[in-house]
Structure 1
Amino acid sequence: MKRVVLIGATGVFGRRLARHLARMAGIELVLTSRSADKAEALAQGLATEASVPVSGAGLDRDRELVASLAALKPWLVIDASGPFQQQGYEVPTAALLLGAHVVDLADARSYLTGYGLQLDALAKQRGLVALAGASSTPALSAAATRELSEGWERLDSIDIAITPGGRSEVGPSVIAAILSYAGKPVPIWREGELQMIPAWGAGEVIDMPGLGPRRVAPVETVDAETLGPDFAVRSRVSFAAGLEAGIEQWGLARLAWIRRRGWVADLAPLIPFLVKARRITRLWTSDRGGMRVAISGIDGKGRPRRAYWSLLAENDDGPQVPTLAAAAVVRALLAGEIAPGARSAAEALDLAAIEAEMAPYAISTSQDERAVGPALFETVLGAQAVAMMPAAIRTFHANDAEPVWQGRAEVTRGNGAGIGLICRLFGLPAAGTELPVTVSVTRGDSLDDNCEIWTRNFAGQRFRSRLSVDRNGELREAFGPFSFTLGAVGNRDGLALPIAAWRVFGVRLPRFLMPSAEARETVDADGRFRFDVKLSLPFFGLLAHYRGWLKPREPSDGPG
């Protein structure tokens, strides 16, 4: 019988993992906590339902760690203590030196990125396994991505989101982990390369299967740094999370904004108050949470596709999800199925192994795959008109087009404080010449399969719009609450996109106040896609005029 020592067994996730492992044949379970009394009480409480020997012991990872672990003689050490954002590798090092395998539930980016470099040689020398990140991220998120994209020719985007049920218990360590990076730059794979974005900043509403619309915001994970290059993702890898209680989501966003402004450097003093506040905010929430992994690209048959894996947890079983990958590791180690070495658990587990651990709980998963329909402009103009347009324009607007295009641009702005204010409102770029420009196009989202999201990046200044076909079959482009009906015309010379009508919050506005747009797409002598957009306002004159060229971004292309 193999002895498994669980560190942090009395925490939110540790207690759930302990209960799960107490029913796993072939092990002897030792539960530890800084308080020996708490550990022993938990062990006694589990004894009646356990099918394996369970005992409790005191262990403080910050005091006499090696001696404490040595006294317990572990075959495997599992660390569920957290938060891992400020932790070093003392626990896995001690476990390996004592001849024990080790696994943890860490999802902290800094901890995970150095794990293999620090411990792999020692683990292989001792013939032991050391796995980090045996949790919802990166183990489960990576396993779902591999399953969905198996055999695909090209992967354009990976979007991962987690939205826990609001009534689920959240301990101080979880809140501490969130506050440690709220408002700080976190990695995102964007425009085909690693970039940074503020954590818990600008969010969006997505459709979570079984839960409906939920607002989510970027969070810190290692997924962008690993999934982007590992899967050669052409455009985007995002990881977002959302809190069911709107007041909690809003409050966290405000705290992130305050830190970004430099008004507060450390949010940790707020932890006790936020723990108490949740006793009230959770009252109007549910015990249902979920996770979603969505990918897009070209499948093994050369077809543009979108695929989804989703998880729905009910009856307050959501907090069990972060423990399931660790449980799968224990089972695989018992079967001798994991090779020695230190690495991310994302490299050692497949989706089926983690899903198998969900059986005792009210947790269900599903997969869905959809074909990408006709290109948006083909729907609006018709196939014959599209076929007339120059090749570079057809390629840019095709439903299997490369998702990221790069080139150079020139921007002219109108004069006056009012013009500057309006340009900032819409996010229009500042004036300049020979500006590096990147245009990323996302075809379809969780709310509408037949839409396109265009993100234009002029030398680091981005603005985004959403193109869709309205119920009258007309093309509409939306910038936040403002939307514009475009009278698209395609011919052998290219594509023209004049404004035909405009609305704000869905209310049609007078034509005499309507902006004018001279927007054309053409092809130059080198066969490159060219854009020329001139925006003007009644009574104000020129708003902005931007023009330039684009070409598909190849995976080997550098920034700009």
Structure 2
Amino acid sequence: MLRRIVLIGATGFFGRRLARRLATIPDVALTLTSRSEERARDFAKTLEGGEHITPFSFDRDDASSVTRLGSLSPWLVIDASGPFQSAGYDLARAAIGFGAHWIDLADARDYLLGFSAALDAEARKMGVVARAGASSTPALSMAVVTEVTDGWQRVDGVDIAILPGGAGDVGDAVIRAILSYAGAKITVYEEGSEREISGWGSVTRAKIAGLGTRYLSPVETADASLMQHRFDVASRVSFSAGLQSRIEHFGLVALAQLRWRRMISRPEALAPLLGKARRVTRVFATDRGGMTITCAGLDANGRQICARWFLHAEKGSGPDVPVLPAVALTRSLLRGEGEAGAGIAALPLAAIEAEMSRPSLTTTRTTQSGGDTSLLALACGVDAYRRLPSALRAFHDQTAPPVWAGKADIDASNSIIGRFVRAIVGLPSPARGVDVTVTVDRAGGEEIWQRNFGGQRFASRLAYKGKNVVSERFGSIEILMAIDVDSIEVRMPVAGWRIGRIRLPLMLAPTSKTREFVGDDGRFHFDVSIGLPGVGLLAHYRGWLEPKTSHALKRSSVASSCAD
């Protein structure tokens, strides 16, 4: 017996791609909906299995249209229309009321986080499976992290980036969805807690194998909220997008800044104009894109590990990726799998990868394991490191918690030159009793320290250089420090410096008096004084730190927001 699948938005950007794949599944009668039945009919003629494919005129905002949908007695309704940023649950609720299973391709945070609470009871009552987010995020991203971190003792960070090729078409709904949160507040998870930032409000530069240099900006997804609970993430979950066209990317960043400063209110109104502008920018782009997911933490043996999953999309196949989880989930339902109820789509990674058309869509994985010896122990020697107070080793150990928080007092120069240099480097301004957070990412034998003094952030990259020398890099400036320890404290005097590859005289080097020690309260304490020859003090900050959150080395069974 044929099972009827009704595809909402079948003639849209993602709907067409999904329809082509659903049409090849045996024992399925496929109904293609569109506001224009003629458009749906014309599209149906291009698909395989035409005798089991029918067009259907449908308007989700028309109550009579929804009633007519029920007359089809659908076995499964799939919503590929979007955008979901402003969508409610009425259509999903109606489908469940018809006794139909439900799948959607939603990626909007609020929609996804409220889906289960809104529909779970009704879905269970009707004995149907309702799953949201069967797309690149969160279904695919969650599947990847589940697979690559299997057996790990701790997940410290998850960094996800979508990197579309720029030569293909982009649907109007996709552009509207992106613009809807450009410059709006989006929720991210970093430094061990959630906070709000501007969507598309910042830029970082990254080199991606096979794709070259891309600029990445934060985008709105539910991954930050879902993953921090599902995987008990200790430090960070980031989700970024990097458009191939720099004109498009930095244009979005500019619009985000205008909205953040309340100079414009609804950038999504510009969607038709930007769609036309892409006719020009796409000429200079390629059809190659990808997706990267990097996870860092402690493996089953408690050693530092960094695992990366990379999706390569060639020949314009990138836009097919968001529909693959929906196809895999449809096959799963046809096999009678899935527990009744409403939740986030959860699938094995292998099931999604099996839907990829090779060689245009391929995936690779790489894993890099760290050693047992911490960077500081390498510099001072294992025996000397073991003699350090436990509070200092607790911060520097390879298995140390990645996020530390405390309080600090800050003195700083008020001279014009001092303020200028401090602003360039990102050093904190004078304050007393300011909240401070230090996040340490350990991977590949290096450490990246992100310091946050009351909202003022600056980062540096530390690496072992041999003997007792550790380098600390601030952008193109590299400071070499000669590590000196005893049983009481750690000292880090400056031993040299470089700008780029040019080594400069020590007499011109920035001055630094850095100490780490245990205070009378038993906590990790720091005292850092930074200056410049001829300028004097730039900043002097001192205070204490303790682990911000307690993450057991053995990952506990955390209640998942995803449906199993």
TM-score (normalised: structure 1) = 0.93
Give the conservation status (yes or no) of the 8 Å contact 2:380–2:468: no
Q: Mark the CA change 1:471 to 1:255 in structure 2 (over 3 Å): closer, same or farther.
A: farther
> How far is 1:68 from its partner?
3.1
Q: Mark the CA change 1:52 to 1:329 in structure 2 (over 3 Å): closer, same or farther.
A: farther
Give the conservation status (yes or no) of the 8 Å contact 1:232–1:555: no
Q: Mark the CA change 1:355 to 1:113 in structure 2 (over 3 Å): closer, same or farther.
A: same
> How far is 1:306 from its partner?
1.6
Distance in structure 1 (CA, Å) of the matches to 2:423 and 2:96: 55
Residue 351, structure 1, aligned to residue 349, structure 2 = yes
Q: Which moved more, 1:527-536 or 1:373-382?
A: 373-382
Distance in structure 2 (CA, Å) of the matches to 1:256 and 1:471: 45
Give the conservation status (yes or no) of the 8 Å contact 1:23–1:51: no
SS at match of 1:518: strand
Partner of 2:101: 101
Partner of 1:35: 36
Partner of 1:553: 548
Partner of 2:268: 268
> How far is 1:511 from its partner?
4.7
> How far is 1:384 from its partner?
4.0
> How far is 1:516 from its partner?
1.1
Distance in structure 1 (CA, Å) of the matches to 2:446 and 2:197: 25
Residue 17, structure 1, aligned to residue 18, structure 2 = yes
> How far is 1:354 from its partner?
1.2
Output aligned runs, 1:48-59, within 5 Å.
49-50=48-49, 53-59=52-58
Distance in structure 2 (CA, Å) of the matches to 1:529 and 1:466: 21
Unaligned runs of 5+ residues in structure 1 are none
Deviations 1:416-468 (A, max 9, x none): 34333332222222222222221100112xxxx23211111122322211222
Letter in 2 for 1:211: L
> How far is 1:142 from its partner?
0.5
Letter in 2 for 1:441: V
Deviations 1:187-230 (A, max 9, x none): 11112111222221223233434434432221100000110022
Partner of 1:438: 437
Output aligned runs, 1:44-443, within 5 Å.
44-46=45-47, 49-50=48-49, 53-63=52-62, 64-345=64-345, 348-359=346-357, 362-373=360-371, 374-443=373-442
Distance in structure 2 (CA, Å) of the matches to 1:91 and 1:217: 32
SS at match of 2:45: helix
Give the conservation status (yes or no) of the 8 Å contact 2:287–2:314: yes
Q: Mark the CA change 1:454 to 1:113 in structure 2 (over 3 Å): closer, same or farther.
A: same
Letter in 1 for 2:535: F
Unaligned runs of 5+ residues in structure 2 are 553-564
Partner of 1:479: 474
> How far is 1:543 from its partner?
1.5
> How far is 1:385 from its partner?
4.0
Partner of 1:534: 529
Distance in structure 2 (CA, Å) of the matches to 1:381 and 1:556: 28
Distance in structure 2 (CA, Å) of the matches to 1:209 and 1:278: 25
Give the conservation status (yes or no) of the 8 Å contact 2:58–2:66: no
> How far is 1:4 from its partner?
0.5
Q: Mark the CA change 1:504 to 1:183 in structure 2 (over 3 Å): closer, same or farther.
A: farther
Distance in structure 1 (CA, Å) of the matches to 2:493 and 2:301: 37
Distance in structure 1 (CA, Å) of the matches to 2:533 and 2:90: 66
Distance in structure 1 (CA, Å) of the matches to 2:248 and 2:377: 43
Deviations 1:24-46 (A, max 9, x none): 11211111111111111100111
Q: Give the fraction of aligned pairs with identical amino acids, expressed as a percent.
A: 47
Distance in structure 1 (CA, Å) of the matches to 2:173 and 2:3: 29
SS at match of 2:451: strand
Deviations 1:63-97 (A, max 9, x none): 23322312333111111111110111121011112
Letter in 1 for 2:143: A
Distance in structure 2 (CA, Å) of the matches to 1:407 and 1:233: 20
SS at match of 1:315: coil
Letter in 2 for 1:94: A
Give the conservation status (yes or no) of the 8 Å contact 1:457–1:463: yes
Distance in structure 1 (CA, Å) of the matches to 2:466 and 2:508: 24
Letter in 2 for 1:430: S
Distance in structure 2 (CA, Å) of the matches to 1:36 and 1:474: 71
Give the conservation status (yes or no) of the 8 Å contact 2:530–2:539: yes
Distance in structure 1 (CA, Å) of the matches to 2:201 and 2:218: 7
Give the conservation status (yes or no) of the 8 Å contact 1:209–1:310: no
Distance in structure 1 (CA, Å) of the matches to 2:11 and 2:34: 6
> How far is 1:510 from its partner?
5.4
Q: How many residues align?
A: 549
Q: Which moved more, 1:495-504 or 1:149-158?
A: 495-504
> How far is 1:112 from its partner?
0.8
Distance in structure 2 (CA, Å) of the matches to 1:176 and 1:552: 41
Q: Mark the CA change 1:34 to 1:305 in structure 2 (over 3 Å): closer, same or farther.
A: same
Q: Which moved more, 1:532-541 or 1:49-58?
A: 49-58
Residue 463, structure 1, aligned to residue 461, structure 2 = no
Q: Mark the CA change 1:71 to 1:142 in structure 2 (over 3 Å): closer, same or farther.
A: same
SS at match of 1:410: strand
Give the conservation status (yes or no) of the 8 Å contact 1:3–1:73: yes
SS at match of 2:167: coil
SS at match of 2:46: helix
Distance in structure 2 (CA, Å) of the matches to 1:481 and 1:39: 56
SS at match of 1:45: coil
Match of 1:524 among 514, 519, 524: 519
Give the conservation status (yes or no) of the 8 Å contact 2:468–2:482: no
> How far is 1:370 from its partner?
2.0
Give the conservation status (yes or no) of the 8 Å contact 2:304–2:442: no
SS at match of 1:92: helix
TM-score (normalised: structure 2) = 0.92
SS at match of 2:391: helix
Give the conservation status (yes or no) of the 8 Å contact 2:168–2:316: yes
